[in-house]
Structures are given as C-alpha cells and as structure tokens.
Chain A
Amino acid sequence: MFTKKKLIVFAVVCAIFAAGEYWIFSTLQNTFEKNSVKEMTSLVRAMTASAPKDDEDLADWSGQLAGTYAGNRFFVIRGVPGEEGSESVGGDSALFDILGLPANAATAEHAAESVSYLEVFRWPEKVSFSGVPYTLMVAPVPDEENGSARATLLAALDSSGYVAYGRLVQTLALVAFVLFALGFGIATFSRDPISGYAILVLSAVVVAFVAYPLFEAVRLTLVREGRFSLDVWKTILSNRQYLQALWGSVQLGIVTATISTFIGFMYAFAVARTSMKGKKLVTALATMPVISPPFSLTLSIILLFGKNGIITKQLLGLQNFNIYGLGGLALVQTISMFPIAFLTMQGVLQAIDSTLEDASLDLNASRWHTFSHVTLPLAAPGLLSSWLLVFTNSLADFANPLLLSGSYHVLSVESYIEVTGMSRLNNGAALSLLLLLPTLTAFLVQRRWVSKKSFVVVTGKPSTRLSDLASPGARRALTGFVAVVSGLIVGLYATIVAGCFVKNWGIDYSFTLVNIGEALTRGRQALVSTITLAGIATPIAGILSMVAAVILVRKKFPGKRILESLIMTPFAIPGTLVGISFILAFNKPPLLLVGTGAVLVINYVIRELPVGLEGGVAALRQIDPSIEEAAADLGADQATIFRTIILPLIRPAFISSMSYTFVRSMTAVSAIIFLISARWYHITIQIYNFSENLRFGLASVLSTTLIIIVLAVFGLMRLLVRQSEFLEKTVTTQ
C-alpha cells in the first residue's frame, strides 16, 4: 500500500502541482497589484492636481480631502519632507510619524527624492491604523511655475479590499491544493479509490453546507466587532419578549405533545388491539396531515373558525372570537402531529407480544386490569418517546405559528421576524439556537432514558392475533372517538377544496371559478420554479443518500462517526436555524450563493439527505454483504457494484427516498423562507402571502394544487415500489 515508490511519486506530483499553482496564483496577485498601484497612483495624481493654488489654503486641504475621500487618511507637508524649509501643515500626524521613524530613514529619503523629481512614491510596506491596512502614497504637489514640488501629500489609502482579495486568492490556492493532494493521495494509495472519492465528496459537501453554516451562526452570536463577546446572549436572555417567546414555544409544545400523544394512543390502540372496522381507511386518513403541505390545515382552520369563519360567524354568530393564539395553534398542531404519535405507538403496540395479554386474560384478569397492568406499562416508554417526538416537532414548527400565532410569541417565528423584519441577524441566530435547547434535551432524554427502559418484547415471530382487549362498550366509545377525529380531518380538507370555489369567504359564498384562473396565473412562476428546483434536488439527494448509506454501512474509515453525525444534523435542528445559518454563510465570498436557485437546491438536498440515508441504511442491512463481495470477486469495481447490484436491490428505499425528497422540498417553508429571491420563489411562500393578504380563495387553490401533486407523487411511488416487492422477498430468503 504505502510502498516507497508510490510515496516518492506522490511527493513529486504534489510538489509539481504546488509549484504550478504558486506560479498561477502569484501571477494573478501580481497583475492585480500592478493594476491597483496604477489606479492608486492616478487617484493620488488627481488629488494633487486639485490642490489649492494658494499656499495659505494648504492647511485646510487635508481636511477637504478626508471629506471627499472618506475612509482614507491624509497629511500635507509644505515643501519636500526632509529638505530645508519643509514644514508640516496639517492632517493625520500618524502618517508623518511613519516617515520620522529611524528604521524608515532610508525609505523616507527615497520618498523625498521621488517627490523632488515630481514622481509619486508608493511606500513598499502596508501600514495599518486601528486594524485596517492602508497603502501609503507620497505624492508631490507640483509648482506649475518652476517645475518643483511646492508641497507633499501623504495619502494613506484604504487597502482592506486589496488585502481581502489576497487572502481569498490564498485560501482558494490552499483549498485547491488540499483537494488535489487528497484526491491524488486516494488514487495512489487506496485499494478502493472510488469509495475514497465518495467519502471525500460527501465530507466536502457536509463540511461546506452543514458544519460551516452552523459554525457561522454560532460565531455570529459570540462575536461583536471582531471580538469575543456574550452581549448577544445577554440581550436575548434578559429581554422579556424573547423569554416570552421561549416560554410560548415550550408551552405550546407541552400542550400539543400531550393532546397528540393521547389521541395517537387512542388511534393506535383502536387499530392494534381491537376489532374495529375500517382500520385501513382510518390509517390512510391519519397519514394525510403528515404529508400534506404546510399552511393547508391552518388555512382551513381560519376558514372555519377565523373572524369570517363559517362556523364562528355564520353558524354561531360570534363577533369577537379569536382563533389566533395558543388555542388555535394547539388545535392545528395537534391535528398535524398526532399522526406521528399514532404511527410510533402503533409500532410499539405491534411489537408487544399479545400472548402476554392473552396470558393475563387467561389468568382471569379483567380486560381493564390487563390493559392497565400489562399493556400500558409495556407501552409507557413508547408513550414518552412519542410525546418527545411531537414536542420537538412542535417547537421546530414554523409554518403554523407564522399564520396563526397572532399576538402569541413562539421562538421560530420570533427569530424569523428578527432576521427579516428587524435585520438583526445575530439575535435571530441566537434565538434559533435557543430553540435547540429543548430539542436537545428531549433528544438526550430519549437516548439516555427511554431506550434503556424499553420493554418491547421481541419474539422474532409476528404475534398472531388477537383477543379483543376492549369490551364492546369501550370499543364503541373508541370507534366513536376515532370517527370524530377522522371526520374532522376530512372536514378540514374539504374546507380547503371548498375555499377554491367561493367568491369571497365569509362575505359572499357564491360559486366561482375565477380564483383558479387567478391563482394559477399569479402562482405559476412560483410553482414552476419550485417544481424545477425540487426536481433538480431529488435525484441528487437520492443518489447521494444511497452512496452515503453504502459507505457508512459497508466501509471502514477514520472519521466515519463524524461524517454520519454531520449528515444527520440537519434532521435534528429546526429549519429556521438552517435557513438563518445559510444566509449567514452564503451571503459572502467565497460561497456567494444567496439569491441563486443553487442555494435552494443545496438546502433541499442537505435537509432530505438524513431521511434517505436512514432508508438506505435499513435496506442495506437486509442485504447479505457476500452478494457485494461476490460481485467484487468477479471483477466489478465499487462503482459497478453500486450500479448493477446495490441500486437494484435497494430500489424501494431509493425510490421512496426520492419521492420524500421531492414532496418535502415542494412543501418546505421554514428554511426556504430565508433563501428565496424574486427569481426563485417558492410555492408555499406564495400560499403564505395570499393568506396574509386575506386572499383565502387563491391560497386554497394553490394548497389544493400542492396536495394533488403530493398525493400523485406518493401514488406513483407506491406503484413503482410494489413492482419490485418480489425482490425484497428473495433478498430475505437468501
């Protein structure tokens, strides 16, 4: 592997590359320097040409120059410095002091000589005042009559741009060299260069687009005027409004999580432990809120319970009913998030071997006793973990509070307002980081406590079922409850569809098709750009996540844990934080991306990578590694194995990862709202704008369109996955 010959070749090639690069970049820098010297010289000449004719006025001249050319420093000397009869006239004396330093005597003499020959002299070293680099120019003010210098101008021109350019060039050169050395090193020393390159590319992607933006966000909150400072955090933690927002988020999270877990458990129990009818329908309806676009449920809540709501105003005749605030938010969040609790609890209940309950019943325990002493204790860790899951989701939720919070403050919206409304990026960053705190706590509780307390009984064989654990009365009550909630969901979606065809909701309920035309005309650009960008992001995220899965499951390399955590990070942190850190990182060189479509695509890819990765990892774990080894053994390299063996075998995971990416990108809000531009708009933001302007009809049309697209994509996915189901079977029978 590391033979002497290879090491020598590697060192030589790297040296040649470095030399070539040095030559290119120093040429670049020299050219730029020459140009900037030329520019500065002519600038100084223009200044001296404008010198006051009267020697008496020279005293005010430096002040005038400082006014005209702000950001630069000047000093004026009558005559030639160092010669007899020269005399300081005025200006920034720090410039004059430089000439007087003993170490600079030779250069100062040189400068004086140039001036007496009427030539502009550039001080060879940069000088710096209070941290800003300047180029010092020593320029003669020519005497028209006798062709000598009647005065000398010391002009220190701000060169921070020039220095920044130099630094940028150096950084680029260094990055180019490191990438080359790594790439060439992998090609030379690795037995499996393709995987090496894949690791390199993935690492570069997550470092540039996950680690770097987050670092920038954290840095911004800890730095004031180039120094470490905790001022931002002091402001945040002492300001009542911000603390209120934090408490508001937590309060909302607790309410939503508690109600959602309760409803979710009822649903899960009804589906997994009773003989209720229509389970498939109930499950399908419950998954709707998970995949449906943001704002749609909020929209229909406003249509039903808002100021002009059909229930509050038309049916009940309430005048001052206010849906905006904690109550309305908890309602919307519960409906959109209880399915998470439901799906989690369903998994947990299905994993509990029902023979335990049968045993309890067999020992003459009552159903209630069995439920409270067997089922519930076994399900308790699952209950807590679904509570935490909903809690985190509620905190990270941005779309619902944006429309419905009213005067109620939550952190996610607060940080958005700080950034876009107040242009206080550092406060916004700090607030969204604050949002991480409860989320992280929940995550740690989950990790430390719940996973240890888990009683899930794994018997290896699917438990055949099922003694009905609910008495007929209890079952009827449960069924009724489930039916009411399901009915509410249907009602909410029906309201959105109805909203499309109503002239002016709350005032004029006559049928019209005008909304559809107008919404599709005005929303066309947003719709097209959203579909385009999501369409670009989908295959990238799909392939990247599968490649990442293969590498993380099958390859051993140092730093694997770190790479994995970095890929998974965007899944755990709230979208607002992702959005804010993206504008912080990509609104400046070297990666000036804000305003382009690329930043949106990158954001989609980064945020959906974790979901695809999870799916890919689960699929790969089911495949016997010797299948891939056999392919390698028969002469296939890693890329060929990926294309001909792995991808066909994990096709279901690949397809569902791609469709999730597409759908979630189409329905993204929280991060995207910071990154959109006039050219690259987003359909969900368009819906938000329509709703904000009370154009509910238009918002309904776009929401309905989005729902149709989402359902179509998932339908297509099901169709494609079903075709390859036979594969899964043969894989597992191997």
Chain B
Amino acid sequence: MAAKSVPVTLSSVTKIFRDPKTRAEVHAVENANFDVKPGELVTLLGPSGCGKTTTLRMIGGFELPTKGRILIGDSDVTFLPPNGRQTATVFQSYGLFPHMDVFDNIAYGLRIRKLPQSEIKERVEAVLELVGLSDLARRAPGRLSGGQQQRVALARSLVVEPQVLLLDEPLSNLDALLREQMRVEIRRIQKSLGITAIYVTHDRIEAMSLSDRVIVMRDGRIQQIGSPGDIYERPVSMFVAGFVGKVAFFPAQLEGMEADGRALCTVGGRQVRAGSAAEGLGAGARVVVMARPESLRLVGRGEAVATGLVTARVYLGSSVEIYVKTDAGEILVQLDDPSGKTIPSEGETVWIGFDEKLVRVLPAE
C-alpha cells in the first residue's frame, strides 16, 4: 500500500482573506516557508486562529494562496483543485458520507478512479484490516462511535494511496482515553506506510508525542520549526516556550555571552550562567530566563533567584507540584520523589533556585 514517499515544500506562502463585513484584509498566513521530508510526520501547532488549518487547506487545495508556491514532490500544485492532487485529508468532523455504509465510504475514492471491482474489494478489505474495522464494513457511519468514525475517515484517506496525508485536528472530537489510543494508532500506521504526513493540532501533547518535527505558528506566522525536543528545550521565544509546556520566566539582565554558548546574566540580584540563549541577543538586552518546572528547586535564601508564599500543593505520587506566588508571577516547582522530604505547606515562604545548566535566556516580550 505504500506509495513512494515524496517531500512537500511551501515557499513564501501567504493567504489574505477579506472580511466579508468590514472588507478589511485578514492575513491568515504570512510568508510560510518549510519543507516536509519524505515519510516525515510534521505537526502544525498553534492556538486557534493562528493559520495552521488554513495552511493545511492550501496544501490540500481547498484554499488558494494569495502568494507563494506549494510543491508536492517536484510538481507545483499551487493552483490545482483538490481532486487534481495526490493528497488525502482526514477532516476534524470526518466528513463521512452519511448515505453510504463504511465499505462504500472507503471505496468512494477507488470508484472515482474506476478501478476494477475485485481490486476495490481487496484494497478496502486490506485497509479495514489495518484500522481494525473488518467486522463493521456494512454499518452506516451514523451508527458508529466517534473513534470508529475516525478510523473510517483515516481508512478512506489511506486507501487511495495518497502521496501526502493531511490530518486536520483529527482527534479533537474524541474523549481523552480514545485520543491517546488513536494517537498511537495513527503514528503506527503512518510509520508502517512511510507516508508523508502533515498534522494540525492545538494540543501540545499530541504534537510532541506524534511528530518528527513541530512547526509552531502564531498569528499567521511560523515561530519555530524543530524536533519536539528542540522546541521544548530550546524555544526561540517566550510564546513558544509557554505554548509547548509549563514554564517560569524570571526577568533578567544579559551581561554577556561566553564562548561555549552559555549566557551570563543577573536574575533577582544574582549572577547566573544560563545553559543556553536564544540567538541574536547582545549584552544589555532586556531578557528573561526560562525554567521548566523540572529544573526548578527549593533552595536556601543564599542561592535563590525568587521568593514567595506557597499557594497550593498538588500531590501526584511520583512528584509534588508546589505553586509559589512570586514577584515574577506564579511559579510551579516540581519536586521529584517526595517521600521522606519535607514539603512546604501552604502559606509558607520558600526560596526558589534553578539548575543553571538547564535554563535558557530568551528575549523579553
């Protein structure tokens, strides 16, 4: 079932809508440039309205870019209609044909391609097997559960052997448990077929656990492209840092950069050598130091970069989360392996420090 994997390239793609009421221009996507390598799964991640779905719809052919070009493999598909390009989309609302049963839904694309009846049957049965719905072939879609409908939509897209699989928030209508299952399932199928896939979501956990690379978008602009580890550990901005995970920011003054990439700065009156820094920062810049909860710890007054009162304690078994109200806002400190340690109680004053190697300097926003 695996067709030859192809890359997808977007070069300076811009989409400008005109608001039907005010006639004002809305820049839904602004100068998007990225490549998706053959067989790679890339996620477009961002808050709603950031242009990620519009980008996907332009790749699928449902919207025309105002500027720029889209290539699938070597061919320019920018102006081709959806039925003229080798993409298959799994829609957020699935878009199953309610007047056809599961089998006919999946066979639709093959019938359009006028394949012989025997081959259609063979391929539909194979894909039903793949998504684990073999016994529901004659069910009407209205009588399937959400997860089953999701699988039918996936199967219907896969059976036509598209060059690129596009997934538009496919799991957002499912409950938490099912979502986790389907996530694993989709990744398994995508890997086994080696198909190039682009996945749109606003759920960072989905994006982190599923993708080879993540593209973070905001207000129509691409903020950062990188592996899940990259964007979690080495975000380029406060927005990306905050969007992909829990984080604390400490206002700081950048003193200078060191040869090994570490940054010397002052946080809360203390000299700190942060593990890394965003590019393009010079001495004297107004910056923040970002720290993930796991790099924070409670320290003595002498080592602290911030101090405050404990507002809440959440016991999670393997760790305890402590919320501290400080001058830099509410900060979450994660204490691992809590058994046998003294955990500060609510209302207590604590001092917070961090592991200098793990923190990163970002430009202040």
Contact = CB atoms under 8 A, between A and B. Distances in A.
A179 interface: no
Nearest to B166: A633
A729 B61 CA distance: 30
Interface string B62-91: 101000000000000001111110011101
A634 B96 contact: no
Given A192-B81, A633-B89, A734-B142, A727 B156 contact: no
B98 A635 contact: no
B98 A727 contact: yes
B19 to A, nearest CB: 13
Contacts of B91: 626, 629-630
Given A626-B91, A631-B108, A729 B96 contact: no
Contacts of B79: 1, 191
Given A626-B92, A634-B160, A640-B112, A734 B81 contact: no
B295 interface: no
A648 interface: yes
Contacts of B64: 1, 191
Interface string B11-36: 00000000000000000000000000
A236 interface: no
Contact of A629 (B95, B98, B112, B160): B95
A632 B82 CA distance: 6
A635 B140 contact: no
B109 A648 contact: no
A734 B98 contact: yes
A637 B98 contact: no
Contacts of B95: 624, 626-630
B351 interface: no
Contacts of B97: 627, 630-631, 645
Nearest to B62: A629
Nearest to B60: A633
B52 to A, nearest CB: 16
A634 B112 contact: yes
B156 A630 contact: yes
B341 interface: no
B83 A635 contact: yes
Contacts of A282: none
B141 interface: yes
Given A633-B88, A634-B108, A648 B93 contact: no
Nearest to A727: B99
Interface in A683-734: 727, 729-731, 733-734
A636 interface: yes
A649 interface: yes
Interface string B286-314: 00000000000000000000000000000
A649 B99 contact: yes
B249 interface: no
B83 A637 contact: yes
Interface of A is mostly: helix
B157 to A, nearest CB: 8
B96 A627 contact: yes
A648 B112 contact: no
Nearest to A626: B95
Contacts of A1: 64, 79
Nearest to A3: B79
A635 B113 contact: yes
Given A627-B95, A634-B156, A191 B109 contact: no
A226 to B, nearest CB: 43
A675 to B, nearest CB: 40
Nearest to A724: B99
A634 B88 contact: yes
Give chain B's interface residue range (CB within 8 Å of chain A): 20 to 34
Contacts of B199: none
Contact of A730 (B84, B88, B141): B141
A471 B302 CA distance: 84
A191 B81 contact: yes
Contacts of A645: 97
B146 to A, nearest CB: 11
Contacts of A640: 112
Interface in A111-131: none
B243 interface: no
Given A730-B141, A731-B98, A633 B87 contact: yes
Nearest to A630: B95
Nearest to A730: B142
Contacts of A634: 83, 88, 108-109, 112, 156-157, 160
Interface string A593-629: 0000000000000000000000000000000101111
A150 to B, nearest CB: 79
B250 interface: no
Q: Count chain B CB atoms within 10 A of each CB in A191, A649, A727, A729 and give the residue with the most.
A: A191
Contacts of A733: 142
Nearest to B86: A635
A633 B98 CA distance: 17
A640 B60 CA distance: 19
Contacts of A636: 83, 108, 112
A560 to B, nearest CB: 11
Contacts of B93: 624, 626, 734
A635 B83 CA distance: 4
Contacts of B61: 632-633
A731 B95 CA distance: 10
Contact of B83 (A633, A649, A731): A633
Contacts of B108: 631, 634, 636, 644
A445 to B, nearest CB: 25
A1 B88 CA distance: 22
Given A626-B91, A634-B88, A636-B112, A734 B80 contact: no
B103 interface: no
B94 interface: yes
A630 B153 CA distance: 9
Interface in B102-117: 108-109, 112-113
Contact of B109 (A626, A627, A635): A635
A629 B83 CA distance: 9
Q: Count chain A CB atoms within 10 A of each CB in B80, B94, B153 and give the residue with the most.
A: B94
Interface string B153-166: 10011001000000
A731 B141 CA distance: 10
B140 A730 contact: yes
Given A627-B96, A633-B82, 12 more contacts: A626-B91, A627-B97, A630-B96, A634-B156, A635-B109, A635-B113, A635-B160, A636-B112, A640-B112, A727-B99, A734-B93, A734-B98
The 8 closest A-B pairs by CB, nearest first: A730-B142, A634-B109, A626-B95, A630-B95, A730-B98, A626-B91, A632-B82, A635-B112
19 contacts: A1-B64, A191-B79, A191-B80, A624-B93, A626-B94, A626-B95, A634-B88, A634-B108, A634-B109, A634-B157, A635-B109, A635-B113, A649-B98, A730-B140, A731-B98, A734-B93, A734-B94, A734-B96, A734-B142
Interface of A: 1, 191-192, 624, 626-637, 640, 644-645, 648-649, 727, 729-731, 733-734
